[in-house]
Amino acid sequence: MNNNKERKKVTVLDFVLIAVLVCTALFIILQQNKSDGGELEVVVKKNSEVVFNRSLSDISGVTEICVDEEFNVIICMEPDGVYVKSSDCSDKVCVNTGKITKSGQAAVCLPAHVSVELKGGKSEVDVVVG
Amino acid sequence: MKKKSGFNVKMFSQTAMLSALTIVLSFLEGMLPELPVPGAKLGLANLAVMTATDLFGLTGGLSTTLVKSFFALVTRGPVAGFMSLCGSLLSMFVMWLFMRYDRKKFGYVGIGVMGAVSHNMGQLCASFAMMGSAVLFYSPFLILIAVFTGAFTGIVNSILLPIIRKSEKYA
């Protein structure tokens, strides 16, 4: 009945939509990479509670900690970055994230409710409130 | 040419078939190699959800979405089930809104992309509720990959849906 009203494959609006989305994504990536250098802090959270918090420069050599007994989430810390070495979860998102080296980056293991974040990095403004 | 009746057998059986298809596609997707973004998937099952939403509106979309999420719950555990439900419900609803808007304005690719992006954003919101701000780091990568996977879904459906609709006339 409505053959003449069949939707097109791509329209101009589709391209506008895609352009807006790609620009948003690139803008967020740029923002994330802004604060570079300076002191980095490792924050490990389990069930939204901080279980480990230390400055990256205080870590000498390779340090490994096991955060979750059930999933055996092993986080490996090195002076230049942090990564989830292994986890018994099914999706392995945390391990596949790889090494995080910059402020604002994170590796998350959803099944184990564990997250590793890098915070800090001396930018001119740390936090803008209000 | 639509008959108004309380119980539409054709719609019922076709929705059931599409729901079954989401399970098959979810399973097939699990066997594909990982995409470059951690946690991201091609969204093959979203194909069937988009088809069902286009053909039968919210009813079709809802039933395929629920079956898909239930399959994730049974095979991959409660966390995956919850994530799947949040992502697909939002995705289905957004695609439905875009489909209703105007047939001329948005093409299949646009609707597919919006579906994929909202799917990922729904999942991101769910994981944000569970994990806090750390997950936001993944957001730009999830948007970028959704543009590609959504365009793929849209292109496949732009080929499939006209064929399905044409065959409807002779059924």
* Of the listed ranges A5-9, B56-60, B77-81, the one predicted with least confidence: A5-9
What pLDDT score does B30 carry? 82
Residues 52-111 of A with CB under 8 A from B: 90-91, 93-94, 96-97, 104-106, 108, 110-111
Q: Which residues have a Cβ under 8 Å from the Cβ of B61 and sit 6 or more positions away?
A: B49, B52, B53, B92, B93, B95, B96
Indicate the SS3 state at residue A64.
strand
Averaged pLDDT score across all residues of chain B: 88
Q: Would you say B34 and A96 are in contact if contact means Cβ atoms under 8 Å apart?
A: yes
Per residue in B148-161, pLDDT tens? Answer: 999 999 999 999 98
pLDDT value at B114 more than 90:
yes
State the SS3 of A112-125.
CCEEEEEEECCCCC
Q: Could you tell me the pLDDT band of residue B4, with boundaries at 50, 70 and 90?
A: low
Interface test with A, best of B76, B106, B152 (most A CBs within 10 A): B106
Per residue in A12-53, pLDDT tens? Answer: 999 999 999 999 999 988 887 776 567 888 889 888 888 888
Report the top-level CATH class of B10-170: mainly alpha
pLDDT value at B6 more than 70:
no
Chain A neighbors of B141, CB-CB under 8 A: 25, 29
Buried b (16+ CB within 10 A) or exposed e, B35-69: eebbbbbbbbbbbbbbbbbbbbeeebbbbbbbbbb
Q: Which residues have a Cβ under 8 Å from the Cβ of A122 and sit 6 or more positions away?
A: A35, A37, A38, A39
Whole-number Å distance between alpha carbons of B41 and B21: 17
- Chain A / chain B CB contacts < 8 angstroms: 123
Whole-number Å distance between alpha carbons of B151 and A21: 13
DSSP string covering B138-159, please? Answer: GHHHHHHHHHHHHHHHHHHHHH
pLDDT value at A4 more than 70:
no
A8 → closest Cβ in B107, B165, B166: B107
pLDDT value at A117 more than 80:
yes
What pLDDT score does A124 carry? 47
pLDDT value at B19 more than 90:
yes
Q: Any long-range contacts for A51-58 (C-beta under 8 Å, 24+ apart)?
A: A55/A120, A56/A80, A56/A81, A56/A82, A56/A118
Instruction: Summarize the confidence of residues B95-122 as an average pLDDT.
Output: 91
What pLDDT score does A3 carry? 45
Task: Name all domains of chain A by residue range, CATH numbers in brackets.
Answer: 1-125 (2.60.320.10)
Q: Would you say A74 and A87 are in contact if contact means Cβ atoms under 8 Å apart?
A: yes
Structural domain boundaries of chain B? 10-170
Q: Is A20 on the interface with B (CB under 8 A)?
A: no
Q: Which residues have a Cβ under 8 Å from the Cβ of B34 and sit 6 or more positions away?
A: A96
Tokens of A95: 């391990």
Whole-number Å distance between alpha carbons of A127 and A32: 14
B103 → closest Cβ in A7, A93, A94: A7
Whole-number Å distance between alpha carbons of B64 and B25: 12
